[in-house]
Amino acid sequence: MVKQRKLESLPLEVIHQIFRYLSPSDLTSLRLTRRSISFFATSNHLWQLHCQSLWKSKICLRDCRDIPPSVWAFSLVVNGWFRAFSKVLEIAHSQWLLGEEALDNTIWMVFFKSSLVNANTWPLTWHVLVECSDTKIVSAIDGLPLKASKWFVDDRPSFRVTAYPPNIPSRDPSTWCRIMQHVQVLMISDAPEFLHGLANLDSIIRSEASDSKECECQNFNKILVQIVERRQVEIRDRLSNILAVRADICIGDDMATLRVRSAQVFVATTYIDVYDFPHVV
């Protein structure tokens, strides 16, 4: 009889090579089997690859991938990249409109639904480009000359403009960009909350890690400021790119399929062992 070897007895390089063929959902399921298997299935080596792949697949995660992996603090703790992957999915499936500060000084593409072929098909140019200022005035900065109006966020929460129906917030499943809409209007914008969420996690991990260096933290903060400043300068190009990328995606993938696929990965990664990784949830 051939003696069977336990997976844990294999060289670490071999285990990593085997686990590289597993999806995030598969790895998360393995984490629920045995503690020894959970250790391998939570490897930074594996989850860094999945993070980078995820960041490349969503245009609204462009800022995250612009920071080199070596600059992030996620490798300083054993589960850092797993927590980063989980944080991105947590943000993607959470309500992004929690208050007026989420809309302060943001720029939105506005489309009138009467001119759209259907709800899932966006044109490659906006009808109006508007800015929601921190003085609570929304005004047109490009396109049709709409009259400036006051805006606020109600208790739902939803975005309100005086004398118009509430705009319900959501997220596009193919790009993960922000959406607000009512029966007549569709509004689309970038999603800075992903970078902000990961930057906050980076700060938490640096405080946990005993070997975190002040110079490395300063380097990260410098790059972060540069990316945020660049976003403001390039906002029109970024919004145009969102439309172009989404048009390419929707040629080969219907929206129902995208929603199901995204939900499957999210559900799998929410089964977190709180005892092992209390900061994930």
pLDDT tens, position by position, 54-83: 999 999 999 999 999 999 999 999 999 999
Taking the C-alpha atoms of residue 268 and residue 26, their distance in angstroms, rounded to an integer, is: 8
Backbone angles phi, psi at 196, to 5 degrees: -65, -40
Residue 90 is encoded by which pair of tokens? 């947590």
pLDDT at 257 over 60: no
Half-sphere exposure of 50 (CA within 13 A, CB side): 29
Residue type present at position 12: L
C-alpha to C-alpha distance for 269 and 252, rounded to whole angstroms: 26
Token match 């990249």: residue? 81
Query: What's the distance, CA 8 to chain centroid?
Result: 34
The answer, yes or no, to whether residue 7 has pLDDT greater than 90, is no
Beta strand pairing call for 137-143 and 128-132: antiparallel
Q: What percent of the chain has pLDDT over 90?
A: 59
**Residue that is written with structure tokens 């929410």 in the block:** 270
Sequence-distant (≥ 6) Cβ neighbours of residue 81 within 8 angstroms: 44, 46, 47, 48, 50, 51, 74, 75
Q: What pTM value is reported for the model?
A: 0.82
Average pLDDT of span 40-57: 92
Sign of the Cα torsion 272, 199, 229, 133 reads: positive
Q: How far apart are CA 160 and CA 236, in angstroms?
A: 23
Domain definitions of the chain by residue range: 10-95+193-233
What pLDDT is stored for residue 28 in this prediction? Answer: 83
Angle between helices 80-92 and 255-269 (to 10 degrees): 140
Note the pLDDT of residue 33.
80
Q: Does residue 19 register a pLDDT over 50? A: yes
pLDDT attached to residue 32: 79
Which of the 8 DSSP states describes residue 167?
Answer: B
Q: Is the dihedral of CA 103, 241, 93, 160 positive or negative?
A: positive
Burial (CB count <10 Å: 0-12, 13-18, 19+), residue 225: exposed
Q: Which helix (H) or strand (E) holds 261?
A: helix 255-269
Which DSSP symbol is given to 148?
P
Residue 232 has pLDDT above 60, yes or no: yes
User: 150: part of which helix (H) or strand (E)?
Assistant: strand 149-153
CA terminus-to-terminus distance, the chain = 45
* pLDDT at residue number 3: 54
Residue scoring higher pLDDT (94 or 247) = 94
